[in-house]
Structure 1
Amino acid sequence: MEQKSILVGVGGGIAAYKSAALCSFLVKRGFDVQVLMTEHATRFIQPLTLQALTKHPVIFDTFAEPNPSEIAHIAVADRALLYVIAPATANLIAKLAHGLADDMVTTTALAATCKTVVAPAMNVHMYDHPAVQHNLGILRERGVIVMDPGEGPLACGYTGKGRMPEPEDITSVIEALLSESRDLLGLRIVITAGPTVEDIDPVRYLSNRSSGKMGYALARQAVARGASVTLVSGPTHLDPVSGAKMVYVRSTEQMLSGVQEAMEDADVLIAAAAPADYRPARVFGQKWKKLDGLPQIELEETPDILATINRSRVHGQTLVGFAAETRDVVSFGKRKLEEKGLDLIVVNDVSQPGAGFDVDTNQVVLLSKSGDVDPLPMMAKSSVADRILTQVKQIRGQRNGERTV
């Protein structure tokens, strides 16, 4: 890639050590990287380390003006094509949300007019605190791209959501945002995500283990690559995707309705959700009590979203499905591909570590209508999303006589 100036703002958290890997990834991809640090960040990683990786002096003193012909925080902001703040601590996020500027990272943020990406990193309870979530919501409303933190063991000893997104995933988002072609610009994509819920009574329901992470990753990457995205989401604990139209549903019937409405003027459906296949034929109006005996629950099939859309789709629309299997993933995937009339299906073995539910990685096989079989290695779901979107673009480009991007 030609030289492009990226600002990397480093906050004062233990995850600051990952900023070295982020800078290394960006430099290797041909970006010109300028690092800004808070004073607290210098307690976790030496500026000299980042200077050696980027070949630029690191700026962390707001009163240090190395070039008397310019104001440092204004000059670097003017030259930047993108500003990524990683790690973004709870304190730093609060400053960004409320316009405080008392260090180089926040002062430059107010001066920057380029796209901004924020990668939160903190203790799980801090991340879940209403004040932090409110501040992140403010940033999203302003158009800031807020990445979801990862889950796993944290430096504080807890295990949960709060890990800084991996440097390679942040790099992938940056590359997509700065892609000169914006290769999906003009494409209208509907994406489904998460589980659906089928009520048994006012307290109990039938559902599954889907977290929605794959569908949300697809939506984020599609937005970053220029597509117009509608995300039809079942119940999840994930943050809204900035730049996407969010449609929240509960049941499979509601998800079908949301998809049908969105597909009226869409080009592509990527059905990454895991809607419930069955629902109670009768929903109890009151909570079933043990004293009433063992309830007899008769099940009936829910609407088949993909089959229904396939029957009503217009010429030129592309359908992509998902199949979560525990054995014979390719053979079952091929059968679903044919039965649903899909152009592409993404299959995986959810019994394999790192490829199942509620994790940030996936290992899938892409099966196309043309017979191509493309097994992907284990990778972050954001990277899997990019591969799927690229495949969709190629499928549409191979068709003659219809609008492609």
Structure 2
Amino acid sequence: MSVAEGNGDLGVKEISGGDTSKATFPSVIRKDEKCKWVIDTDGDPELTEVLGDSLHLLWQYGFPQTPNWYPRLSHGFHYYLAGMQATTAAKLLEVLPGEKLLDPFVGGGCVAIEGMRAGRRTYGADLSPLAVFITKYHTWRPTPDQISAYVAITQEIQDTVPHEKAPGGQAADWRHPIWATLTTAIAERAVDVDEELRGALWFTLSATLERARKFGKKRSKVVPIALFGRTARHYMNDIQALIDTVPEGVHQPQIVRCDARELQLAEEDLVDAVLTSPPYPAVYDYLSTARQIRSRSPPNIAEVSSGMHFDSTVVPEGRVWPEGWHEGEIGARKAMRRDPTSFQESWQCDTEAWMLAMKNNMKVGARAVINIGDGDDSFICALQSIKTASNVVGLKYIASATIRSREDIASKKRVEHAILLEK
């Protein structure tokens, strides 16, 4: 077991791992008296250096931002609760060889984007309708005709909807007449376009509403249609950058809404590598967040939707949501609050179940990296949980790195791990 220290003093070296983007990676310097964290490693030094560097990048840059030296592409375009740092994912691909890459907890699509950039054929799944919807449109590579149609439609909408401010308390509320007018303008134009383009329009509206919420006390200055126009231009710029970056011939990611414990790829789709960041124990409520974001968009656009679960679902008037929006979440904070005594047992059973499914979707010799953090106050050590589950399901533990705040730092961050396994 070795220990290294981390700080923000970064040199620069070229990215490795088959990437064609010409981006650069920081060379991590960990020995400095001003460091705020330490990285513990276990395993082959060549492997643990990569694992440790990936965690350093995670803590140095956070989420969803990307460093100014790294291509942003569509990372973090639409708000998503937590997620992997783009440079962390790219760094971890260095220890994951092969063509086919799976993320069974796809979240906002970071691994899918970075897999595409590296020329991989990517597969993703998530229980959350929001995660699948966001990943679909974070990784969308529209045809030239679709791009032209999107630009024309969004410009026509900007020319049609009045440029009026919404009152401060309603600056991010679709019920306000200005937002309702914008919604109607989108719906009218969505009738005559393909489902992918329909989804892109509603995705843009959802991203616009989430951005409006971030104005806080300055919401009274929000002009909904102007914000929609900026969001649409930003989106197409990001998507065009993605198209330009992904190597020619790379398949579009295959993303499905599925419980990771039940995910089963076809025999010909078994993967060479898995890179994923599963839920942390009792830290987040992903489905609750998905319901909140869906309820902030127009409640019934099913007839002009993309056909995906997110925008085709009619928001209920009460608290009873349809299937797929409230059950089956692994490690939810609310579950721990409801029944703390049984949470740990349920957590371990669920961990073993999704790791068994993951193993069954891997080729013999395939490797997996799991990026995960501990529960609050480390009441569950995620590293030990993963190692125990790997023994149960028959995966070989190879190496790990753990990042933690220095003991004398008053405001400590959550302990996080990068764990390398092999089938």
User: TM-score if structure 1 supplies the norm length?
Assistant: 0.30
Structure with higher helix content = 2
Bigger relative contact order, structure 1 or 2 (CA pairs below 8 A, ≥6 apart): 2
Structure with higher strand content = 1
User: TM-score if structure 2 supplies the norm length?
Assistant: 0.29
Structure whose CA Rg is larger: 1
